[in-house]
């Protein structure tokens, strides 16, 4: 978060009138909406959220106990902004972009800070800057002027800030610079440094938002196979306790083919966030062998941190994501959990005594959620690069009840829904994503990509799997009433095929070296093998072979071992020939 360098320029100080949790009112403050203010003797960071005559209402991003009427309030005159530049990756921030390690040093402990300011990026580190334009070249707002090797994995692009006029490059040099040193001068008199500030509530500009047509490949069969998300798409993932939410999110952070991951831990219990903070720095990027953190930025706002900061952490996260998008990267933003953010809005709203909407949430809940998700997308950037922000929001519906307002409002906005299911998790079916309730509205627009890059008949084969699983769902009701043996033989066979789809294809073990990541080609090939079994089995049934004999062939249980097979091409080729041979020998 930006330092209050401009604090001397404050025209007028206000005085605290009342304190109610995170909501503070002040009189005599000359402020505009969304200005950042420093509250009380300790200078706690807050943001103006309402102005009525001489009375200004502020939400404070830090614990306000002990702060009382009569204490001063100072206005910075600046909106809530993030510091952008090299050093954002590999960082762990709190909700207002203060690096946790710096806070820890200053405070001796994390999470117990008040009134401590720390810039979002280090102003002392020197970065090796290499220009990509020459003196005499003309650059416009957003254009890339140079590069910095930020981490082992990511090259940071230094850009003309979007609100600059631009002009001819008058000087630009190779060398080591701190983020605040000038690396280029323009004929307009503007100076370019590696540091940009951007107000978090304002989307960074882009030329056009385009229909996304490339999937964010996750290597998770149920996601890539049945419910794919596009690069630049939106998804919600509701996760009741113990349903495998953490594992799913780790898998996405590790395996999704995004260049950059921004992980926002918003209001989850302290121990869960600590888990993330401790786990992530240890994780390796499985594709490069480099530390996962070298392409990740973590923002941690746990439930023991003040509620108002939950809101800022969401906006901080999406702004950082947009900044890397502007460099031409594909960014995946994961927010866990948007329910805690909504609860924070509810708390602030009730303290403001606003008219409550459904279940006490403010009437603007839907608008706030959609404003957030709308910042996702595939964009043609103003510097002519293409980049994307994919937003994946976890939702924690109390009691797993999807009819509550946060889940419902989220469902109206996002185009992918991965419904984690506590029952499946209990039965140890992982990932416990319910295939009957989940959906993806990107399927059709991604089909051409899958046809070109995986298999020409991908959509048809997937549809076959969907149909079999649907039929199983319908048949289950009858089975529960009369038992499986009462079904006609063809339906019994369908149940057997569906069982293989669930056990051999949809289940995936995140902790198995081979199974943890499944290339889409393997996902397709595995599905095709089950379809081969299906086709052979139905031919045999038509030829009069009893269903038990068909399902008893030696080769079929080996379908369950395709997932862990390293040499899967050979394994599956061989398995298919055996299935054919053994089933055909029955008639």
Collapse the DSSP code of 551 into the 3-class scheme (helix H, G, I; strand E, B; otherwise coil) and give the result. Answer: helix
DSSP tag of 215 = B
Helix (H, G, I), strand (E, B) or coil at 277: helix
Contact criterion met (CB below 8 Å) for 211 and 442: no
Q: Does 219 bind ligand ADP (CB under 6 A)?
A: no
Q: How far is the CB of 422 from ligand ADP (least distance, A)?
A: 9
User: By C-beta, is 421 or 536 nearer to ligand ADP?
Assistant: 421
Query: Looking at 174, 304, 509, 569, which residue binds ligand ADP (CB under 6 A)?
Result: 509
- Dihedral angle at the C-alpha atoms of 31, 32, 33, 38, nearest 10 degrees? -30
511 binds ligand ADP (CB under 6 A): yes
Between 276 and 547, CB nearer to ligand ADP: 276
Q: Confirm or reject binding of residue 510 to ligand ADP (CB under 6 A).
A: yes
Annotated binding site for ATP: 239-246
Positions 525 through 584 that interact with ligand ADP (CB under 6 A):
none
* Under rule CB under 6 A, residue 239 binds ligand ADP: yes
Interface residue with ligand ADP, options 142, 238, 306, 431 (CB under 6 A)? 431
Within 13 Å and on the Cβ side, how many CA atoms surround 174?
A: 1
CA distance 211 to 445: 8
Residue 412 or 511 with smaller CB distance to ligand ADP: 511
Q: 254 vs 375, which CB is nearer to ligand ADP?
A: 254
- Contact pick of 166, 228, 244, 377 for ligand ADP (by CB under 6 A): 244
Least Cβ distance, residue 428 to ligand ADP (angstroms): 8
Residue 119 binding ligand ADP, by CB under 6 A = no
Give 437's DSSP letter: T
DSSP 8-state secondary structure symbol assigned to residue 505: I
Contact 587/545 with Cβ under 8 angstroms?
A: yes
Q: Considering the rule CB under 6 A, would residue 243 count as an interface residue with ligand ADP? A: yes
CB of 238 to ligand ADP, least distance (A): 10
Q: What is the dihedral of CA 7, 12, 18, 23, to 10 degrees?
A: -40
154 close to 259: Cβ distance less than 8 angstroms: yes
- Cα separation, 243 vs 494, in Å, equals 28
Among 195, 245, 415, 462, which residue interacts with ligand ADP (rule: CB under 6 A)?
245
Q: Is 400 in the site for ligand ADP (CB under 6 A)?
A: no
User: Total number of residues binding ligand ADP (CB under 6 A)?
Assistant: 14
Nearer to ligand ADP, 26 or 229 (CB): 229
Among left, alpha and beta (phi > 0; psi -120 to 50; other), residue 79 is beta
Q: What SS3 class is residue 234?
A: strand
Interface with ligand ADP by CB under 6 A: which range of 124-132, 190-198, 243-251, 575-583? Answer: 243-251
Q: What totals of helices (H) and strands (E) does the chain contain, helices first?
A: 15, 26
Among the listed ranges 86-94, 168-176, 197-205, 238-246, the one in contact with ligand ADP (CB under 6 A) is 238-246
Q: Which helix (H) or strand (E) holds 373?
A: helix 365-374
By CB under 6 A, name the binding residues for ligand ADP. 239, 241-247, 430-431, 508-511
């Amino acid at each position: 978060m930006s330092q209050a360098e401009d604090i001397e320029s404050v025209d007028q100080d206000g005085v605290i009138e009342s304190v109610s949790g995170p909501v503070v009112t002040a009189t005599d403050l000359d402020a505009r909406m969304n200005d950042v203010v420093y509250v009380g003797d300790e200078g706690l960071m807050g943001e103006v959220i309402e102005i009525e005559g001489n009375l200004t209402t502020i939400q404070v991003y830090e614990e306000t106990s002990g702060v009382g009427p009569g204490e001063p309030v100072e206005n910075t005159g600046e909106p809530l902004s993030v510091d952008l530049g090299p050093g954002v990756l590999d960082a762990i921030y709190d909700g207002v972009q203060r690096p946790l390690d710096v806070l820890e040093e200053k405070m001796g402990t994390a999470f117990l800070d008040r009134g401590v300011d720390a810039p979002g990026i280090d102003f002392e580190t020197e970065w090796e800057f290499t220009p990509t334009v020459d003196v005499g070249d003309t650059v416009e707002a957003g254009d890339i002027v140079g590069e910095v090797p930020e981490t082992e994995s990511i090259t940071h692009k230094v850009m003309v800030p979007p609100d600059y006029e631009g002009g001819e490059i008058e000087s630009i040099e190779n060398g080591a610079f701190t983020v605040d040193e000038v690396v280029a001068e323009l004929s307009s008199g503007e100076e370019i440094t590696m540091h940009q500030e951007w107000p978090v509530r304002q989307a960074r500009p882009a030329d056009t938002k385009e229909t996304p047509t490339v999937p964010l490949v996750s290597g998770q069969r149920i996601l890539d196979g049945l419910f794919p998300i596009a690069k630049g798409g939106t998804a919600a993932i509701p996760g009741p306790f113990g349903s495998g939410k953490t594992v799913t999110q780790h898998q996405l952070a590790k395996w999704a083919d995004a260049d950059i991951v921004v992980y926002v831990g918003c209001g989850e219990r302290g121990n869960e966030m600590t888990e993330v903070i401790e786990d992530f720095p240890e994780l390796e990027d499985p594709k490069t062998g480099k530390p996962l953190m070298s392409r990740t930025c973590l923002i941690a706002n746990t439930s023991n941190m003040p509620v108002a900061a939950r809101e800022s952490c969401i906006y901080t996260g999406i702004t950082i994501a947009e900044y890397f998008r502007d460099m031409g990267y594909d960014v995946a933003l994961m927010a866990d959990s948007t329910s805690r953010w909504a609860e924070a809005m509810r708390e602030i709203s009730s303290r403001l005594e606003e008219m409550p909407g459904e279940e006490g949430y403010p009437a603007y809940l839907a608008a706030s959620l959609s404003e957030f998700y709308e910042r996702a997308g595939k964009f043609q950037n103003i510097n002519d690069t293409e980049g994307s922000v994919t937003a994946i929001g976890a939702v924690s519906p109390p009691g797993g009840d999807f009819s509550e307002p946060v889940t419902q409002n989220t469902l109206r906005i996002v185009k992918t829904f991965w419904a984690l299911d506590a029952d499946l998790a209990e039965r140890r079916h992982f990932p416990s994503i319910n295939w009957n309730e989940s959906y993806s509205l990107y399927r059709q627009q991604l089909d051409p990509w899958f046809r070109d890059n995986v298999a020409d008949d991908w959509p048809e084969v997937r549809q076959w799997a969907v149909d079999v699983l649907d039929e199983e769902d319908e048949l289950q009701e009858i089975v529960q009433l009369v038992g499986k043996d009462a079904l006609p033989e063809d339906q019994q066979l369908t149940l057997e095929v569906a069982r293989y789809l669930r056990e051999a294809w949809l289940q995936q073990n995140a902790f198995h070296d081979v199974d943890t990541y499944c290339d889409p080609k393997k996902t397709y090939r595995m599905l095709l093998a089950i379809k081969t079994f299906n086709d052979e089995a139905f031919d045999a049934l038509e030829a009069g072979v009893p269903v038990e004999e068909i399902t008893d062939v030696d080769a079929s249980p080996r379908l369950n071992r395709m997932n862990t097979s390293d040499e899967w091409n050979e394994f599956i080729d061989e398995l298919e020939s055996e299935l054919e041979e053994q089933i055909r020998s029955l008639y």
